[in-house]
Structure 1
Amino acid sequence: MTPSARLQAAIELLDEIIIAARDNGASADNIAKKFFKARRYAGSKDRRAVRAHVYAAIRRFGDRPINGRAAMIGLAEETPELQALFDGSTYGPAALQPDEPRASGSIIASWLNDRFAAPVDVKERTALFERAPLDIRLNLKKGDADLMGATWPEAEPLPLDNAYRLPTGTNIENSQVYNGGQIEVQDLGSQAIIAACLPGAPKLILDMCAGAGGKTLGLSAQLPDDVQIVAADTDRGRLSRIEPRLRRSGADNIETILLSPNQEDAALTSFKSQCDLVLVDAPCTGTGTWRRNPELRWRMTPKRLQQTIALQARLFALASTMVAPGGRLVYAVCSLLDAEGGDQTETFLDRHSAWRDIEVDLPIGRPYRKGTLLTPYQDGTDGFYFTCLEKL
């Protein structure tokens, strides 16, 4: 492919990503995989160049562009070498016209600027677009630190037990230790939430928004085998992805339950007031994961944010009914917006007098609004807010 043809391919791929963001469709990574599968003629260098154009545009503009061409024209205004590629050549983009729409604005939509948690200042927000590291969690039931050192001597031990950081690009999924269940890929922030769940010697745990089971498996790996763990979610596709991970990890104390949206309580009736620990890793806007998924910004609107906040509040309240007296509730979001974090916790505590917040002792994170805040700039993790509450 010529450089101009690569730019045109990036425009076409951006068109699909923009539509998916508007309609809450597939992720940018999945769209890109499908896009290139249909274009076998594109070699590895072509794919890398197209992806580079696409993600440069995604990271640059906080507001969703009207289409891929507008996105690339906006980027080209700041990148002169791109302007020459709008040459009207065969397979390349048409020549630039003076009155064409073009993307503009800051890297974060203006309507979001005053919604971040107070500590997330300009330098903190800039770090949300740096490259994410590759963190792993060691499964002590199947491996140990010596195994890690023998497999990846370059692995950097992190502040939490059993947490390591590997060089970006390390081939994990083809490694013997991954396929043998000795390790799992997991951001250090997610591992911190698991660590916050561990005190209290729970016997029955409900992971109410388990997704693909990353935190469920993390809990199982660090608790005795006689602890019963229930992984529940409303997304059949995501929940089904826990099965191969269970087989790799060797965990046999995990049960999965598929919930019906808006009817979760019906499937969870038998757990009411029975659980020693309930974890709610609630659906959120994902502002804390922009390093990995920058196109999430293009999915956000004030309306969608309000819908998400309402869902979080409902799940928070529902989860509290599952906790036994003296038990704990951990509420977490991979978001740095106050409305999804501190606001939710303080509103819950104002409405539920039989609960108190518990201080969490971790080597990372900072106390914030009855909970803990983790950020890429301060902690080298994805962005998270979580709180640990006890039922009196």
Structure 2
Amino acid sequence: MTPAARTEAAVEILDQVIAAASEGGAAADTLVSRYFGTRRYAGAKDRRAVRDLVYAAIRRAGERPTGGRAAMVALADDDPALAATFDGSVHGPAPIEADEPRAVAGSAPDWLVETLVASGVSSETMAALVGRAPLDLRVNRLKASREDVLAMLPEVEATPFAPDGLRLWRGGNVEAMPVYRDGLVEVQDEGSQIVGMALGAKPGDRIVDLCAGAGGKTLALAAAMANEGVLLAADVDRARLSRLKPRSVRAGVTIVETLLLDPNREAEALGDWVGTADGVLVDAPCSGTGTWRRNPEARWRLTPDRIDRLAMTQTRLLALAATLVRPGGTLAYIVCSLLDAEGAEQVDAFLAAHPRWIAEPPALPAGRSHGAGRRLDPARDGTDGFFVARLRAPC
């Protein structure tokens, strides 16, 4: 592909990403893969170059652009070499007009920036939220130590905070690595590893991972439990939960039981667990504002109404989780969001409704106190953005 053809391809993909963001469609990485799935002539360098252009344009545009060309023209305004590819050639985009529409630069839509500022998020953090993230791995201590894997992979380094974390700055095809195929590592952001430690799971515990998804934190809990005890992974998403079984087999995890829940009828299926769990992890569905480094177009999908609906779900899940915890047991509440409506305010409301419960400062190796919990952010901690709180049930 010529440079001009790469630019045109990026414009076409961005058109799809923008449409999907407004209609609730597929994520950008999926759309990039689909685009090249029908264009076998594009080599690896072409695909990588186009993908980089797409994500650079997404990261630059705070508001959802009117179209892919507007996003790319705005990017070209800061890059003369890119602007030169708008040459009107057969496979390239038409020349840039001085007065044509351009995407507006920013960290997020204005209303969302205001909401983040009101939640105590700094301008440095907002800029970091749309930066590029490294590729982090978690060593599966059921099969190896971090020192073992570091010796096998000279291109990785230990993460600064998570005791089992590794970092690949250049990325790469992790699934092709023998250490991945053999279950020695999982892909997991360092921040996700850190907040999962808040529950304090230990060997022999009875633990519920209430919003397990595909099981990233479930597998980390199993490792912390040394494969001893009972670990229930529950979720309402059949497709995501089905991915946990093969991952467990690869990781050598044998203590996980899965439970598919019906939305809004979760309590019925969890009846046998009421008042018996040593710990419950609630990695609640949320806006994902803390994960924009990996999914920058996600900020175009949010609306105030969607955040309100998510907050209602979070409140309901916290109340449900509280019924499962035994006297003196622990509830860890996690969101990959920096919005107080989903984090600190949720915990404050829970404590007001459950006055005998107490918030315990989670002893974590990173982050800072925020409300009754702790917050991690990319500018200060180099992780995705998270809020986590540790809550103790009355005895």
Q: Deviations over 1:18-62 (max 9, x none)?
A: 111112221111111011011111222221222122111100011
- Structure 2 unaligned spans of 5+: none
Q: For 2:142 and 2:10, locate their aligned partners in 1 and report how far apart those are by CA, in whole Å.
A: 45
Q: For 1:163 and 1:79, locate their aligned partners in 2 and report how far apart those are by CA, in whole Å.
A: 36
Q: For 1:152 and 1:183, locate their aligned partners in 2 and report how far apart those are by CA, in whole Å.
A: 11
Matched, 1:39 2:31: no
Letter in 1 for 2:296: P
Query: Matched residue of 2:341: which SS?
Result: helix
Is contact 1:202–1:276 with CA below 8 Å preserved after alignment?
A: no
Letter in 2 for 1:139: N
Matched, 1:54 2:57: no
Counterpart residue number, 1:288: 290
Matched, 1:229 2:241: no
TM-score normalised by length of structure 1: 0.94
Letter in 2 for 1:174: A
Which stretch of structure 1 is more off in the superposition, 30-39 or 307-316?
A: 307-316
Shift, 1:199, TM fit: 5.4
Letter in 2 for 1:389: L
Q: For 1:7 and 1:144, locate their aligned partners in 2 and report how far apart those are by CA, in whole Å.
A: 44
Is contact 2:146–2:165 with CA below 8 Å preserved after alignment?
A: no
Shift, 1:146, TM fit: 4.2
Counterpart residue number, 2:16: 16
Q: For 2:216 and 2:111, locate their aligned partners in 1 and report how far apart those are by CA, in whole Å.
A: 32
Q: For 1:375 and 1:80, locate their aligned partners in 2 and report how far apart those are by CA, in whole Å.
A: 33
Counterpart residue number, 1:241: 243
Cα 1:175–1:44 shift into 2, 3 Å:
closer
Q: For 2:203 and 2:53, locate their aligned partners in 1 and report how far apart those are by CA, in whole Å.
A: 50
Letter in 2 for 1:89: S
Matched, 1:121 2:122: yes
Q: For 2:202 and 2:358, locate their aligned partners in 1 and report how far apart those are by CA, in whole Å.
A: 15
Q: For 1:8 and 1:155, locate their aligned partners in 2 and report how far apart those are by CA, in whole Å.
A: 35
Shift, 1:72, TM fit: 1.8
Q: For 1:346 and 1:223, locate their aligned partners in 2 and report how far apart those are by CA, in whole Å.
A: 30
Cα 1:97–1:349 shift into 2, 3 Å:
same
- Structure 1 unaligned spans of 5+: none
Counterpart residue number, 1:212: 214
Q: For 1:195 and 1:344, locate their aligned partners in 2 and report how far apart those are by CA, in whole Å.
A: 20
Q: Deviations over 1:167-200 (max 9, x none)?
A: 4325532222221112212111111122211257
Letter in 2 for 1:268: L
Query: Matched residue of 1:8: which SS?
Result: helix
Q: For 2:167 and 2:2, locate their aligned partners in 1 and report how far apart those are by CA, in whole Å.
A: 38
- Counting only pairs closer than 5 Å after superposition, residues 235-384 of structure 1 correspond to structure 2 as 235-384=237-386
Q: For 2:3 and 2:147, locate their aligned partners in 1 and report how far apart those are by CA, in whole Å.
A: 48
Query: How many residues in Structure 1 have an aligned counterpart in Structure 2?
Result: 392
Letter in 2 for 1:228: V
Q: Deviations over 1:304-351 (max 9, x none)?
A: 222212221121222112212111111101111111111111111112
Q: For 1:275 and 1:341, locate their aligned partners in 2 and report how far apart those are by CA, in whole Å.
A: 23
Cα RMSD over matched residues? 1.9
Counterpart residue number, 1:194: 196
Which stretch of structure 1 is more off in the superposition, 301-310 or 157-166?
A: 157-166
Q: For 2:29 and 2:132, locate their aligned partners in 1 and report how far apart those are by CA, in whole Å.
A: 15
Counterpart residue number, 2:157: 156
User: Kindly, what percent of the aligned residue pairs are identical?
Assistant: 50
Q: For 1:81 and 1:183, locate their aligned partners in 2 and report how far apart those are by CA, in whole Å.
A: 40
Q: Deviations over 1:136-192 (max 9, x none)?
A: 222222112442232024543333322232343255322222211122121111111
Q: For 1:185 and 1:313, locate their aligned partners in 2 and report how far apart those are by CA, in whole Å.
A: 29
Shift, 1:225, TM fit: 3.0
Q: For 1:9 and 1:160, locate their aligned partners in 2 and report how far apart those are by CA, in whole Å.
A: 39
- Counting only pairs closer than 5 Å after superposition, residues 132-151 of structure 1 correspond to structure 2 as 132-151=133-152
Q: For 1:289 and 1:215, locate their aligned partners in 2 and report how far apart those are by CA, in whole Å.
A: 16
Is contact 1:202–1:277 with CA below 8 Å preserved after alignment?
A: no
Cα 1:302–1:80 shift into 2, 3 Å:
farther
Letter in 1 for 2:126: R
